[in-house]
């Protein structure tokens, strides 16, 4: 594994969903500090594919104005100390591009120069160590970081069958509600794909109502956040 993000980009794709309301690009970096069972990008840690940063920058230069956003995703981008340099290099090419970083919160301050930060809030803090291999304290501090500046940060959670079986939905909701603050919270449902192959994690129909309840709370928080912004 390289220590530099410049040697660690494994894919570049179009996206219409990763950065809200924009036609964008998403780049994926290899390697992650976590090992989540529902990860659909696990292949990133195994591939030897590499995309040159220079080719990404030249693509951006050739297509100025074509894309409105660029998302740096993973793997985990904040494991690389030179993430801020990459963001700076991209911004030099296209000043209008919205740069977004997807992170699990590991070293969230590395994403400080991004326009948008999306924090993956995966489990109740107490469960992180057993389910991801990493202590939950950094996830907690990541969340605190996002809560400090909700204008450019938001959180998202992928819910699996396991979450509901263990009542994590309730604990996670309680943990977020403690902040008593409006925040954009996106609740995603686990989708099995050939790259994941975990049919056991597909949410059972009996949990549909709980998923819906969780979504309602998340939407209420998002509404609260939006109404705060309007003021």
Partner 1 sequence: MIQNFSYDQDFKNLMSNLSTEYGKEIMNLEGIGNALDINNTSKKYFKEKFTVNATVDQNANVDDNTVLGYMMEIPKPYFRLNSLYKMWETVRKLFGKDKANEVITAEVSGAIYTHDLVGYAVRSYCWAASMLDILNKGLPFIPRVKSIPAQHLTTFIQHINQTVMFMSNQLDGAVALPDLFVSISYFVEKDIRDGILPNPKTDYDRYLKEITQQFQILVYTLNQPVRGGQSPFTNISIFDRYFFAKLFGDITFPDGTKPDYDKVNDLQKIYCDMFTNELRKQVLTFPIPTAAIAVEEIVNPDGTKARKAMDPEFMDQIIQYNLEYGHFNIYTGEITALSSCCRLKNEIDNDQMKEATELSLKNMNDNSLSKEYINTFGATSALKIGSHRVVTVNLPRIALMSSDEKTMIDNLTHHLSLAQMVLEAHRYIIRDVINTGKLPLYKFGLMDLNRQYSTFGFIGLYEMIHLMGENPTSEKGLEMMEQVISRFNTYAKGHDKIKEETSYIVEFRDGTFVKKVINSKVSILRMGKKESINISDLKYNDHYDGRTVKAVATQKDKIIYTYNVEQIPGESAAVKMLQKDRIIFKSPELNNIHLYSNQFVPLSDKMIIAERMTIHGTFDHKIGGGAILHINVAEKITEPSVMRTLVENAISKGVIYFAINYNFLECQNGHITVGKKTKCDQCGAPIIKEYTRVVGFITPKENWSNERRTEDRQWLKT
Residues at the contact surface with partner 1, assessed by CB under 8 A: 11-14, 16-17, 20-23, 25, 59, 62-63, 66-68, 189, 191-195, 202-203, 205, 208
* Cis amide prior to 181 (ω within 30 degrees): no
Name which of 165 and 195 has its Cβ closer to partner 1: 195
Instruction: Return the number of other C-beta atoms located less than 10 Å from residue 90's C-beta.
Output: 22
C-alpha 102/C-alpha 83 separation (Å) is: 12
Which CB atom, from 46 or from 62, has the smaller least distance to partner 1?
62
Shortest CB 13 distance to partner 1, Å: 5
For residues 23 and 16, what is the distance between their CA atoms, to the nearest angstrom? 5
Sign of the CA dihedral running 170, 172, 177, 178: positive
Cα end-to-end distance, the chain, whole Å: 47
Shortest distance (Å) from residue 22 CB to partner 1: 6
Query: Considering the complex, what minimum distance in angstroms separates the CB of residue 15 from partner 1?
Result: 8
- Nearest distance from C-beta of residue 23 to partner 1, angstroms: 4
Smallest gap from Cβ 59 to partner 1, in A, equals 7
Q: Which is nearer to partner 1, 31 or 192 (CB)?
A: 192
CA angle 151, 156, 162 (to 5 degrees): 160
CB of 21 to partner 1, least distance (A): 4
User: Whose Cβ is closer to partner 1: residue 51's or residue 147's?
Assistant: 51
Long-range (24+ apart) CB contacts under 8 A made by 213-221 are: 213/169, 214/159, 214/169, 214/172, 214/173, 214/187, 215/187, 217/173, 217/177, 218/185, 218/186, 218/187, 221/176, 221/177, 221/181, 221/182, 221/183, 221/184, 221/185
If we measure between CA atoms, which residue out of 156, 24, 7 comes closest to residue 99?
Answer: 24
Nearer to partner 1, 127 or 192 (CB): 192
Of the pair 66, 177, the CB lying nearest partner 1 is at 66
């Amino acid at each position: 594994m390289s220590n530099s993000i410049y040697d660690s980009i494994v894919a570049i794709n179009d996206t219409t969903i990763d950065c809200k309301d924009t036609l964008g690009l998403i780049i994926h970096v290899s390697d992650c500090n976590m090992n989540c069972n529902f990860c659909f990008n696990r292949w990133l840690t195994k591939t030897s594919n590499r995309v040159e940063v220079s080719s990404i920058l030249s693509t951006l230069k050739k297509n100025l104005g074509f894309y409105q956003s660029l998302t740096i995703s993973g793997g985990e981008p904040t494991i690389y100390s030179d993430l801020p340099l990459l963001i700076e290099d991209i911004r030099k090419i296209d000043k209008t591009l919205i740069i977004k970083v997807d992170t699990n919160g590991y070293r969230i301050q590395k994403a400080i120069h991004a326009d948008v930060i999306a924090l993956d809030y995966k489990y109740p803090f107490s469960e992180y160590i057993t389910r991801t291999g990493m202590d939950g304290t950094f996830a907690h501090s990541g969340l605190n970081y996002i809560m400090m500046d909700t204008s450019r940060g938001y959180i998202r959670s992928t819910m699996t069958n396991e979450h509901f079986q263990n009542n994590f939905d309730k604990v996670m909701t309680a943990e977020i509600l403690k902040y008593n603050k409006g925040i954009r919270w996106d609740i995603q449902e686990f989708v099995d794909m050939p790259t994941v192959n975990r049919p056991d994690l597909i949410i059972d129909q009996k949990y549909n109502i709980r998923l819906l309840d969780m979504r309602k709370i998340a939407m209420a928080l998002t509404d609260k956040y939006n109404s705060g912004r309007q003021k």
